[in-house]
């Protein structure tokens, strides 16, 4: 791929991330009542309630929003703080050798 075309693709991806993906996942993809990110959404943007919430997804989303904040792309400090507190409270197992659980249900 020629360099100008690659630069255009990167710019388009960055614009999509800033204008579409980050705002979408910070609203539709984040359950403010639990402080956790949704595992999956349907094509209408509604959470799939039967899907368990995995620790890995929570960590990945916290990283993405933290990094986006550091880059100045999206202000997500409050969301990250709420998500991290909920992660510790929800997934923290406090058992030696298994300090965190893998996934949880909504209940």
pLDDT at position 1: 66
pLDDT at position 25: 97
Residue 103 three-state SS: strand
pLDDT at position 93: 82
Say how far apart CA 96 and CA 102 lie, in whole Å: 15
Residue 64 three-state SS: helix
pLDDT at position 15: 98
């991806």: which residue's tokens? 13
**Average pLDDT, 10 consecutive residues per value, the chain (107 residues):** 88 97 98 96 96 95 98 98 96 82 86
Residue (of 21, 24, 57, 65) closest to 39 by Cα position: 57
């Amino acid at each position: 791929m020629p360099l100008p075309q690659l630069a255009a693709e990167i710019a388009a991806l960055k614009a999509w991330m800033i204008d579409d993906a980050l705002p979408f996942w910070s609203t539709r993809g984040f359950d403010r009542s639990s402080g956790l990110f949704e595992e999956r959404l349907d094509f209408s943007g509604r959470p799939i309630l039967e899907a368990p919430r995995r620790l890995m997804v929570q960590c990945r989303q916290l990283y993405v929003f933290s990094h986006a904040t550091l880059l100045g792309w999206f202000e997500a400090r409050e969301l990250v703080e709420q998500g991290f507190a909920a992660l510790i409270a929800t997934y923290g197992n406090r058992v030696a050798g298994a300090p965190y659980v893998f996934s949880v249900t909504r209940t």
